[in-house]
């Protein structure tokens, strides 16, 4: 999905899966639940403490309270209009 430029979206502890997805996070901005920050950074990402982080087709958020911003960003990405 990433290579094809399709939406890759992950929230809360979901970025743990991305940590194991080859080099998907390497050199990209992302966020996650604070408890897995070190794993996300060790996977090569630049971790940002924000409710939603968009890096090309990658959309990440920290926690369920961030769902409104996360959903808005995902819909925008699917519509081809990044926020």
Per residue in 44-62, pLDDT tens?
999 999 999 999 999 999 9
The residues pairing with 54 across neighbouring beta strands, listed in sequence order, are 59
Domain map of the chain by residue range? Answer: 8-79
Mean pLDDT of the chain: 95
Of 30, 36, 35, nearest in space to 52 by CA: 30
Residue 1, token pair as written in the block: 């999905």
pLDDT given at position 83: 53
Q: Which of 12, 19, 71, 74 is catalytic?
A: 12
74 noted as active-site residue: no
Planar angle of CA 72, 55, 62, nearest 5 degrees:
60
d(CA 56, CA 64): 22
Return the CATH architecture of domain 8-79: 3-Layer(aba) Sandwich (3.40)
pLDDT given at position 81: 76
* pTM for the whole structure: 0.94
* Dihedral angle sign, alpha carbons of residues 20, 82, 52, 64: negative
Confidence band (pLDDT; 50, 70, 90) for 82?
Answer: low
13 noted as active-site residue: yes
Residue 40, token pair as written in the block: 């996300």
Mean pLDDT of 6-33: 96
């Amino acid at each position: 999905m990433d290579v094809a430029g399709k939406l890759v979206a992950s929230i809360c502890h979901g970025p743990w899966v991305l940590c194991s997805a080859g080099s998907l996070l390497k050199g990209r901005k992302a966020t996650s639940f604070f408890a897995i920050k070190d794993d996300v950074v060790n996977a090569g990402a630049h971790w940002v403490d924000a409710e939603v982080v968009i890096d090309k087709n990658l959309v990440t958020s920290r926690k369920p309270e961030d769902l409104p911003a996360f959903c808005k960003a995902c819909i925008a990405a699917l519509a081809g209009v990044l926020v």
